[in-house]
Chains A and B, each alone.
Chain A
Amino acid sequence: AQSVTQPDIHITVSEGASLELRCNYSYGATPYLFWYVQSPGQGLQLLLKYFSGDTLVQGIKGFEAEFKRSQSSFNLRKPSVHWSDAAEYFCAVGARSGGGADGLTFGKGTHLIIQP
């Protein structure tokens, strides 16, 4: 079964500084990879996804993520954070096998705090 590890429970970044959130996954092959953001009291919104091809993927709100097969990682980055980026961020994997009917497997999340 697949699993996702987000090693950082909380991260504090100053507004305008760069951001990197870490994600490592365990899966027998290359899974589908996703990053979601959850603002307080809201559902999850998809930031970006990786299926195949270019290992650097661009998402919404200025986020990008890089898939590194050798490290089983899919880290999320943003060059300059804004106060509105404060939220909970979830990395998720989806299985390619079995028709992919299973739901996504999520990491525990990283809580991002933005300092003024």
Chain B
Amino acid sequence: DSGVTQTPKHLITATGQRVTLRCSPRSGDLSVYWYQQSLDQGLQFLIHYYNGEERAKGNILERFSAQQFPDLHSELNLSSLELGDSALYFCASSATAGTSGEQFFGPGTRLTVL
């Protein structure tokens, strides 16, 4: 158990819909990273928040957004969903703001778009 929690574990929805994925980092960790894992693209970095502020963006679509709240949990919002958004979404937390810190991964949320 990494100490990172993600809800829900599974999500099935339809094209055009909007969903919210939630991540609670390990106690004391200020950084939250979001990654998408799909068969064709592999594991891709989406976005990084540190202590409530956006620090870096990766291959995140404009239809996707994220935020980190004062209690440090983070939410990833996916809107106007397409079939190709079906994937496993991971969040990872770290004590530091940079990649030198170990990232602890949650179990993931599996999103299926029908």
> Could you give, for residues 80-116 of chain A, a 1 whenever the CB lies within 8 Å of some chain B CB and a 0 otherwise?
0000000000101011101111111111110000000
Determine if B103 and A46 form an interchain contact, defined as CB atoms under 8 angstroms apart. yes
B33 to A43, Cβ gap below 8 A? no
**Minimum distance in angstroms from B100 CB to a CB of chain A:** 6
B56 partner, pick from A45, A103, A106, A108, beta carbons under 8 A: A103
Interface size class of A (residues with CB under 8 A): 20 to 34
**Would B97 and A106 count as touching, CB distance under 8 A?**
no
Q: Tell whether A45 pairs with B99 under 8 Å between CB atoms, given A102-B45, A103-B58, A106-B42.
A: no
Whether A100 pairs with B98 at a CB distance below 8 angstroms is yes
* Residue B11 is within 8 A (CB to CB) of chain A in the complex: no
Chain B 89-109 interface 0/1 with A at a Cβ cutoff of 8 Å (1 = within)? 010100001111011111110
Interface size class of B (residues with CB under 8 A): 20 to 34
Q: How many A-B residue pairs have CB under 8 A?
A: 73
Given contacts A94-B100, A100-B99, contact A43 B90 (CB under 8 A): yes
Q: Assuming A45-B2, A95-B99, is B108 touching A104 (CB within 8 A)?
A: no
Is the Cβ of A102 less than 8 Å from the Cβ of B56?
A: yes
**Inside 8 A of B104's CB, which chain A residues have their CB?**
46
| Contact partners of B103 in chain A: CB under 8 A | 46, 103-104
* Complex A-B: 8 CB contacts under 8 Å: A43-B105, A43-B107, A44-B105, A94-B98, A99-B97, A100-B97, A104-B45, A106-B44
3 tightest CB-CB pairs across the interface, nearest first?
A94-B99, A100-B98, A103-B45
Give residues in B with beta carbon < 8 Å to A: 2, 4, 33, 35, 42-48, 50, 55-56, 58, 90, 92, 97-100, 102-108
Besides A90-B43, A101-B56, 16 other CB < 8 A contacts? A36-B105, A42-B107, A43-B2, A43-B105, A44-B92, A45-B105, A46-B104, A94-B99, A94-B100, A99-B55, A102-B56, A102-B58, A103-B46, A104-B33, A107-B42, A109-B43
